[in-house]
Amino acid sequence: MRLLAKFARLPWCDRMLVLRAFATVLLIKLALLAMPFRSVRAIIDRIALQSRYPKMRPSAGKIGWAVAAVNRGLHFKQGDCLPLAMAAESMLARYGYRAEMKIGAARGEDGAFIAHAWVECEGRVIIGNFELDKYTTLESTASPTRGEIAG
């Protein structure tokens, strides 16, 4: 109940942004359960190119805040950084930002393989800023801009 009260106190534009983030994260999580990463990525890229959000453009940091708020509100388990990063990158692209999602790997304290995904935009980490210095980047993908993907 506290979560709903907190949400209700947000300005209208922030509530809309959080709702967009919620829908985006949820759809990506479900898609990743049913399809391989590359297929989901291709669909997200096409959607980002074919549709844009309204002209009112929040800052890149505010978009990251909205995705992080969804994560905090839903208490996703550790390891859900990939759908969060994909959602942030998709939303950034739909608002016209050029963002870069990175996937890195490291060895945990017990020697186990661990992976992490994060998004950078305008020289800043937008989401996933957690001990990034210990990860070796394995993949880096930039959000598309109009004209980059034939449709």
What's this model's pTM, rounded to 2 decimal places?
0.87
Predicted confidence at residue 53, as pLDDT, reads 67
Rounded to a whole number, what is the distance in angstroms from the first to the last CA of the chain? Answer: 44
**Which of the pair, 146 or 102, is modelled with greater confidence?**
102
Residue 105 confidence (pLDDT) above 90: yes
**45-59, 96-110, 121-135: which range is least confident on average?**
45-59
Residue 127 bridge partners (DSSP): 119
Backbone angles phi, psi at 133, to 5 degrees: -65, -20
Scanning the structure block, which residue is given the tokens 């809309």? Answer: 16
The overall average pLDDT reported for the chain is 87
pLDDT above 90: percentage of residues in the chain? 61
- pLDDT tens-digit map of 42-73: 998 888 877 776 677 899 999 999 999 998 87
The mean pLDDT of 13-27, rounded to a whole number, is 94
Write down the pLDDT at residue 76: 64
How many other CB atoms are there within 10 angstroms of residue 19's CB atom?
13
**Tokens 């060895």 sit on residue:** 107
% of the chain at pLDDT higher than 70: 89
